[in-house]
Amino acid sequence: MFLHGTSKVNEKNHLEIGGVDTVELAKQYGTPLYVYDVALIRERARSFRETFKRLNIAAQVAYASKAFSTIAMVQLAHEEGLSLDVVSGGELFTAIQAGFPVERIHFHGNNKSYEELDMAVKNNIGCIVVDNFYELSLLEQVCIENKTTMKILLRVTPGVEAHTHDYITTGQDDSKFGFGLENGQADQAVEQALHSEYLELLGIHSHIGSQIFETTGFLVAAGKMFGKLKDWKDRFGFAPKVLNLGGGFGIRYTEEDKPLPASKYVEAIIGEVKKHADDLSIDIPEIWIEPGRSIVGDAGTTIYSVGSRKEVPNIRQYIAIDGGMTDNIRPALYQAKYEAVLANRVEDPVEETVSIAGKCCESGDMLIWDLPLPKANSDDMLAVFCTGAYGYAMANNYNRIPRPAVVFVENGEAQLVVQRESYEDLVRLDIPLKSKIVD
């Protein structure tokens, strides 16, 4: 069993996180329940920031809030000196409600609406990462109407795609995101941005994938970007103030996953950028990175109550819990794997191998296949580790299941940061028929 952060087994054989007994939390707040280890979030944030500081490189570490966007989380990111990525009006609204410093908010997305851009401009956010030509003109229009300017990065597709241990150079850039670096789009976008009186081009951005365990993909992407920066220096006299290399740093979900420490990714990126900046004789641009999963992923644990059991003789034991694809859609969406223990009997001996089923009306609603556990019954609670990223963020109300509550724990104290949805919440937006259809 692998325990993340402050998680440990207490004298009652219960899972404890942040000095708080998760079984007590489940009794107090109900299940399913997302529990976040705040100290671990702080540690993850600091490890990125401190590496830049140690190497004396100007940087912004922007938390990609799409991984887990709530007011409390955004406030925690602020406390830790992070910047913030948002990808929608809703995430921007959350950041503003949280009182996050607007000058450190960066707005991403491949189809920002007029209203979203207008909201960003009116709130004077730090930077918009422009994704395509449509947005370039739309944003200029919004700036003209607001009689103001906006700082931008251009998102480019460097023709590098990274995933876990592999990276591939895709040659031609078949992606819905960004300006193609190889096909002339990026050159044209740079020229257009440099000519605009309303847009201030800070630099370029790339994001090559997610759950990446190697540094190679980042270095290849940086190399390709610098190839173009050389052209742009010669053609336009343009030298970037900012180079943003995106997020995607991997975390450990199961023992198959072997992520690097944050410092290793950052050191490798800095080394590569320095080398290229030297070659070009330009100042080292400010380096921005955008970790999402690696800030909050392993800090989250979901506590469920065990319910029904179904045995398919000689084939499989199914154990069902009181949540599933509504609070964690990742296994159904992309066969994500997780580890889990019984929160109330952590170190009891393993007695059987079971598969953990969700409660939704979908055969695909399975959380974990083939999990070794003590013989679990309906008094037990299951703790699934590493659910902090893209869990609550992707939670939904399929089967009209209310979304769980979220609790932060730190130094022996628990704080409710998102309430559990009620049935009333579920029907709040519904409007009954005006007249009877059937007598």
- Catalytic annotation on 360? no
Site string for ligand PLP, 115-154 (x = CB under 6 A): ----------------------------------------
Parallel, antiparallel, or unpaired: how do β-strands 340-342 and 20-21 relate?
Answer: unpaired
Q: Is 316 annotated as a binding residue?
A: no
Q: Which two structure tokens, joined as six digits, stand for 35? A: 């529990």
Smallest gap, in angstroms, from Cβ of residue 190 to ligand PLP?
Answer: 19
Binding residues for ligand PLP restricted to 278-307, rule: CB under 6 A:
290-294
Choose the catalytic residue: 127, 143, 360, 361. 361
Say which residues have a Cβ less than 8 Å from residue 65's Cβ, sequence separation at least 6: 73, 74, 77, 84, 85, 86, 91, 94, 95, 292
Q: Which two structure tokens, joined as six digits, stand for 34? A: 């997302």
Residue 104 touching ligand PLP (CB under 6 A): no
Interface size with ligand PLP, residues (CB under 6 A): 17
Q: Is 390 annotated as a binding residue?
A: yes
The residue (of 246 and 323) whose beta carbon lies closer to ligand PLP is 246
Q: Which of 178, 180, 217, 246 binds ligand PLP (CB under 6 A)?
A: 246
| Cβ 344 vs Cβ 303: under 8 Å | no
Binding residues for ligand PLP restricted to 382-421, rule: CB under 6 A:
389
CB atoms within 10 A of CB 254: 13
Q: Which of 108, 224, 276, 403 binds ligand PLP (CB under 6 A)?
A: 108
Degrees to nearest 5, angle at CA 34 with 66 and 208 = 30
Q: Which two structure tokens, joined as six digits, stand for 222? A: 């940086």
| β-pair partners for 209 | 162
Q: Which of 26, 64, 360, 366 binds ligand PLP (CB under 6 A)?
A: 64
The residue (of 29 and 107) whose beta carbon lies closer to ligand PLP is 107
- C-alpha 67: how far from chain center: 2
Q: Which of 203, 217, 247, 391 binds ligand PLP (CB under 6 A)?
A: 247
The residue (of 198 and 390) whose beta carbon lies closer to ligand PLP is 390
Q: Is 167 annotated as a binding residue?
A: no
- The SS3 assignment for 205 reads strand
DSSP of 223-240: HHHHHHHHHHHHHH----
Residues 85-100, buried b or exposed e (16+ Cβ, 10 A)?
bbbbbebbebbbebeb
Residue 248 touching ligand PLP (CB under 6 A): yes
Q: Is 252 annotated as a binding residue?
A: no
| β-pair partners for 128 | 107, 152
The residue (of 292 and 391) whose beta carbon lies closer to ligand PLP is 292
Cα 362 to Cα 370: distance, rounded to the nearest angstrom: 19
Which residues of this chain interact with ligand PLP, rule CB under 6 A?
A: 64, 66-67, 85, 108, 207, 210, 246-249, 290-294, 389
Query: Binding site for pyridoxal 5'-phosphate: what residues are annotated?
Result: 248, 290-293, 390
Which residues are known to be catalytic? 361
Query: Binding site for substrate: what residues are annotated?
Result: 293, 330, 334, 362, 390
